[in-house]
Amino acid sequence: MDIAKKAAAEKACELVEDGMIVGLGTGSTAEWAIKRLGKMVKEGLHIQGVPSSKQIARLAEIVRIPLIPYNEFLMKEYDEGQEKCVLDINIDGADRVDPEFRLIKGGGGAHTREKNVATASKLFCCVVDESKMVPKLVGSFPLPVEVIPDYYREVAAKLKELGEVKLREDGGKVFITDNSNYVVDVSLTVGEPNRLEVDINEIPGVVDNGFFTGRTPEKVFVGYPDGSVRVLERGD
């Protein structure tokens, strides 16, 4: 599986050019892209990266990718007339991808920041192995929902109307996101992704959920165990 992930990630990195601002996704496949970009920087490529999690920021620092910190990315104007830094390209993984390029993300608990980074990108490239491609999102993978801790019980009660709810833990303790929130994983049994993304986010106490139905990737790089990569483009 690592061969497939590595192949997909490195293929997407071929689109990165000198001077670009690059969104750095979170997850095991995105990590391969960051390692490759680090090698490219060492060979002379000049880029800046915007990390979508503290974990990825640490990895990017290790491989010496110059970074724009996430909080600065949210606040500082980089282009005239822009309220946010506009990224040239974003390379990120996904837990599941359907035929319409809609995604479920957040297996690593970083989906809120990942969505912000993706939304600010001119080109969104999703890198996955073949097992992540599914005909239908609902029921294929538990949906991560980031929740403000004080609202957890009320949100969990509402989410139980959609499927089984489980508070995410890490090492026997409640998992805490980079935004200091909880993650609730919902095993959905009903609903349609576009509607669910909106409806779940309207529940008081929900920060964001792992459906990516509004900002979907333009390109999906699918890696296979033999090292080959299939590049899918929206509209094909």
What's the pLDDT at 81?
Answer: 56
> Would strands 124-129 and 48-51 be described as parallel, antiparallel, or unpaired?
unpaired
Q: In this predicted structure, what is the pLDDT of residue 76?
A: 62
Strand order in the sheet with 229-233: 48-51, 21-24, 89-92, 124-129, 219-223, 229-233
> In angstroms, rounded to a whole number, what is the distance separating the alpha carbons of residues 6 and 174?
31
Question: Which position has the token pair 């990120």?
Answer: 92
10 with 124, same domain: the answer is yes
CATH of the domain at 184: 3.30.70.260
154 Cβ contact partners less than 8 Å away, ≥ 6 residues apart: 204, 205
Tell me whether residue 24 is in a domain: yes
**Which of 122, 90, 76, 86 lies closest to 26, judged by CA?**
90
Considering the domain architecture, whether residues 44 and 100 belong to the same structural domain is answered as yes
Q: Are strands 229-233 and 219-223 parallel, antiparallel or unpaired?
A: antiparallel
pLDDT attached to residue 26: 95
Domain CATH code at residue 120: 3.40.50.1360
Taking the model in full, what pTM does it have?
A: 0.93
**Residues 22 and 73 reside in one and the same domain:** yes
- Does 11 lie in the same domain as 88? yes
Supply the pLDDT for residue 190: 86
pLDDT along the chain (236 residues), means of 10: 95 98 96 98 97 96 95 67 76 97 96 95 97 97 98 97 96 96 95 97 98 97 98 88
Q: Residues 163, 224: one domain?
A: no
- Model pLDDT, residue 231: 98
Residue 162 belongs to a domain: yes
Q: Which residues are catalytic?
A: 114
pLDDT at 210: 98
User: Do 221 and 119 have their domain in common?
Assistant: yes
Residue 169 lies in a domain: yes
Identify whether 196 is part of a domain: yes
> What is the distance between the terminal CA atoms of the chain, rounded to a whole angstrom?
26
Q: Does residue 15 lie within any of the structural domains?
A: yes
Write out the residue range of the structural domain in which residue 198 sits: 143-208
The whole-number pLDDT of residue 172 equals 93
Is residue 138 in a domain?
Answer: no
Q: DSSP character for 133?
A: B
